[in-house]
Every structure is written in structure tokens, then in C-alpha cells.
């Protein structure tokens, strides 16, 4: 697969930066096309996909657990004084739940996931590229794109929604803990208030977009690693730019998806 070569120049000019931007854009587009061409063709590396899902998911659980708990706890702490001014503290459970489920849970989990996983994929594949392991696979009649890229992208696409659902529950637990610091609210009331406030238009779109976020994390990390050059310096560059690019694309795509969601379900706008 031929991809545009990116020139890495010290002290680049504006024209060099523009060249690098459009080269990255065209290269990532070609990379995505190649992925969809090979993703559904046999052989299907199911065992590798499961392996990467377990590895990426287990290693990311601790950090997203902490992030989710702090998210719910801080959100409750910040929301309570505001609602108390208007005598609306009974709406605190639904406020926290809607904020976490609609936007904060999916986006923050994806950003944390990008920092942990996209950099790892970029570093791993770039190391294989600069040490010519990928070239050796091609010589051995093994399709490195299928074995290294497709499996990882499928794994990140499938594991991020699971992590997001987990983070939402952890965040709600943190929110409840913060609530009982202010007033005596029962767990049953907290749970019933959340259930009464959540609709299809709140939960499903928030979880559905994490499939796209997971795909972005996997494909950007794989692209930067698979096309790396420049020896050991290229490994660090691939890891860093993978995180920056995937995080930026997640935020841009979320902005577009929020607009689409509000258009499809006007009641949640």
C-alpha cells in the first residue's frame, strides 16, 4: 500500500506546515479506504481482535475508573450550590445523569482512551516499522495491514463503548456519594430519579458515537505507526502525533454528531 510520505523538517515554514497537514489528510484518507477494503475480507483474525480487546480494555480500566468516579463526584459538588439557589436540589440526580450520559462520559472516556491507547498503538507499530519487522512480514507472505491494523481498529471500536457504559455507572456512583454529603437522599430515590429522566434520545446516541470515537483512536494510532520513519525519533513522533490527532478528531466529530443528534431528536436539544 503506497501512502504519501510526510517530510519532517526542523523549524518548518508555513508552507511546510501546510504541506504536512494536507499530506497527513490525504494519507489518512487512503489509509481509511484501505481499511474498509480489507476489513471484511478473509481471513478473519478473530483471535487477535479478542486479544487486543482484552489487552486494551484491561489496561485502560484503572484510569477510566478513577476518571469516572471523580467526574460524577465533582459534577455533583459543582451542581448542588447552583440548584440550591433555586430550591431545585431534587433535580440533582437527573442533572448529573444527563450530563454524564449525553456528553461528558462518552467524550472524556474517549479522550482518556486516546491518550492511553492511540499512543500505544502508534509506538508499537512504529517500532515494528523502523526495525523492519513489518517488511519481514510482507516478505513472509503475511498481510501486515490485515494482521496489525485491522485487528487493532476493530478492537478499539468495540471496546470503547463498553468502557463508556462502565464509566457512566462509576460516575453516577461518585455523584451519589457527593449528594449524600449534602443531604439525606436514599439510593432508591437517586436511582428512580435518574431512570425517570433518561430517555432513548439521551442514552443511545451518547453510546453510539463512542463506536466512531473508538474507530478514530484505532485508525489514527495505526496510521501514524504504520507510516512512521526516521528511526527511534520517528517512534516518539508517531506516538505523540497519534494522541494529538485522535483527540482533535474526536472533538470535531463530537461537535458534528451533537448537531445531528439534536436534529434527529429535537426534544433533547
**pLDDT of amino acid 17:** 64
Q: Provide the domain count of the chain.
A: 1
pLDDT > 80? residue 56: yes
Residue 15 inside a domain? The answer is no
pLDDT > 70? residue 207: yes
Distance CA 267, CA 269 (A): 6
The percentage of the chain sitting over the pLDDT mark of 90, rounded to a whole number, equals 37
Mean pLDDT of the region 164-172: 95
Task: Give helix 46-85 / helix 92-99 axis angle, nearest 10°.
Answer: 140
**pLDDT of amino acid 265:** 66
pLDDT > 90? residue 214: yes
Residue 192 inside a domain? The answer is yes
Q: Tell me the per-residue pLDDT of 231-259, one tens digit each, with 9 for 90 and over.
A: 777 788 888 888 999 999 999 999 999 88
Distance CA 142, CA 104 (A): 41
Whole-number Cα distances in Å, 236 to 18, 125, 191, 233, 250: 22, 11, 46, 5, 21
Residue 27 inside a domain? The answer is no
Cell numbers at residue 164, please?
A: 463508556
Residue 37 inside a domain? The answer is no
Query: pLDDT band at 204, cuts 50/70/90?
Result: confident
Residue 153 inside a domain? The answer is yes
Cell 482518556: give the residue: 112
Q: Tell me the per-residue pLDDT of 77-133, one tens digit each, with 9 for 90 and over.
A: 988 888 888 887 788 889 999 999 988 999 999 999 999 899 889 889 888 888 888
Cell 516499522: give the residue: 129
Residue 94 inside a domain? The answer is yes
Distance CA 148, CA 137 (A): 10
pTM equals: 0.88
Mean pLDDT of the region 133-137: 85
Mean pLDDT of the region 3-15: 54
**pLDDT of amino acid 109:** 95
Residue 12 inside a domain? The answer is no
> What is the domain extent for residue 192?
45-268
**pLDDT of amino acid 110:** 95
Torsions phi, psi for 11 (to 5 deg)? 50, 60
First-residue to last-residue Cα distance in the chain? 44
Mean pLDDT of the region 191-218: 89
Residue 210 inside a domain? The answer is yes
pLDDT > 70? residue 137: yes
Amino acid at each position: 500500500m503506497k501512502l504519501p510520505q510526510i517530510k519532517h523538517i526542523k523549524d518548518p515554514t508555513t508552507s511546510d506546515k501546510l504541506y504536512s497537514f494536507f499530506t497527513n489528510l490525504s494519507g489518512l484518507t487512503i489509509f481509511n479506504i484501505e481499511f474498509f477494503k480489507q476489513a471484511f475480507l478473509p481471513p478473519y483474525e478473530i483471535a487477535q481482535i479478542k486479544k487486543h480487546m482484552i489487552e486494551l480494555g484491561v489496561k485502560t480500566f484503572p484510569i477510566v475508573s478513577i476518571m469516572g468516579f471523580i467526574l460524577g463526584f465533582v459534577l455533583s459538588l459543582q451542581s448542588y450550590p447552583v440548584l440550591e439557589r433555586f430550591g431545585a436540589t431534587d433535580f440533582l440526580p437527573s442533572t448529573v445523569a444527563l450530563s454524564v450520559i449525553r456528553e461528558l462520559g462518552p467524550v472524556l472516556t474517549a479522550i482518556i482512551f486516546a491518550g492511553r491507547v492511540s499512543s500505544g498503538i502508534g509506538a508499537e507499530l512504529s517500532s515494528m516499522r523502523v526495525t523492519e519487522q513489518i517488511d519481514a512480514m510482507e516478505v513472509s507472505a503475511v498481510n501486515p495491514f490485515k494482521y496489525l491494523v485491522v485487528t487493532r481498529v476493530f478492537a478499539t471500536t468495540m471496546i470503547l463503548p463498553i468502557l463508556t457504559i462502565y464509566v457512566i455507572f462509576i460516575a453516577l456512583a461518585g455523584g451519589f456519594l457527593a449528594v449524600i454529603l449534602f443531604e439525606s437522599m436514599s439510593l432508591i430515590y437517586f436511582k428512580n430519579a435518574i431512570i425517570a429522566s433518561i430517555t432513548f434520545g439521551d442514552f443511545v446516541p451518547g453510546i453510539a458515537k463512542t463506536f466512531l470515537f473508538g474507530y478514530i483512536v484505532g485508525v489514527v494510532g495505526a496510521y501514524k505507526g504504520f507510516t512512521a520513519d526516521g528511526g527511534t525519533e520517528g517512534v516518539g513522533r508517531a506516538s505523540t502525533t497519534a494522541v494529538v490527532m485522535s483527540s482533535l478528531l474526536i472533538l470535531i466529530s463530537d461537535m458534528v454528531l451533537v448537531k445531528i443528534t439534536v436534529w434527529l431528536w429535537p426534544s433533547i436539544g
